[in-house]
Amino acid sequence: MLDERDRKILGLLQANAEQPVNDIAAAVALSPSACSRRIARLKDEGFILRTTTELDRRKMGLPTTVFVIVRTGSHAADWLDKFHSAVSAVPEIVEVHRLTGNFDYILKIVLPDVEHYDVVYKQLVSRIELFDMSAYISMETVKAAQGLPTNYA
């Protein structure tokens, strides 16, 4: 069970996982060793899954975001396995969510430019049969949260 200090530690780590333990400890009014033990416990208990590095998409040459809405013609287990393999094989597809409602999936694709979408499209449809795909170009990122709310744990 998490207490308020644990939640604050998780929030601080989500904002910047590279900040020194001394700084985190000072922010939550703990000694560095007690704070370090809490961080280790949060890892052991699975609250912290991994530590990653966020790259600058523009500097990486991937400033364009396209969202693709997919409708399928099949929901059979073998088709689902092929779909999972197909989207996993295309590195520009960075997120895939299964939806409720009129559509089956939404894909988030990062690209060097809009024209490159055709390359990704051809890679995907060569791997899996899809009933319908509609692409939507993101004009502006209004919010891109870097972490999760910590008040529900």
CATH number of 4-44: 1.10.10.10
Q: What is the pLDDT of residue 74?
A: 84
Q: Residues 127, 86: contact at Cβ < 8 Å?
A: yes
Helix, strand, coil shares of the chain as percentages rounded to 5? 40, 20, 45
> Are 4-44 and 64-137 equal in CATH topology?
no
Q: What is the pLDDT of residue 19?
A: 95
Nearest one of 49, 51, 130 to 87, comparing CA atoms: 130
56 exposed, middle or buried (CB, 10 Å; 0-12, 13-18, 19+)?
A: exposed
Going from N- to C-terminal start, the domains of the chain cover 4-44, 64-137
Pure H helices in 1-152 = 4-15, 21-27, 32-44, 77-88, 117-127
Residue 141 has a CB neighbour count (10 Å cut-off) of 8
Q: pLDDT under 70 in the chain at which residues? A: none
CATH number of 64-137: 3.30.70.920
Q: How far apart are CA 52 and CA 73, in angstroms?
A: 36
Q: What is the pLDDT of residue 128?
A: 94
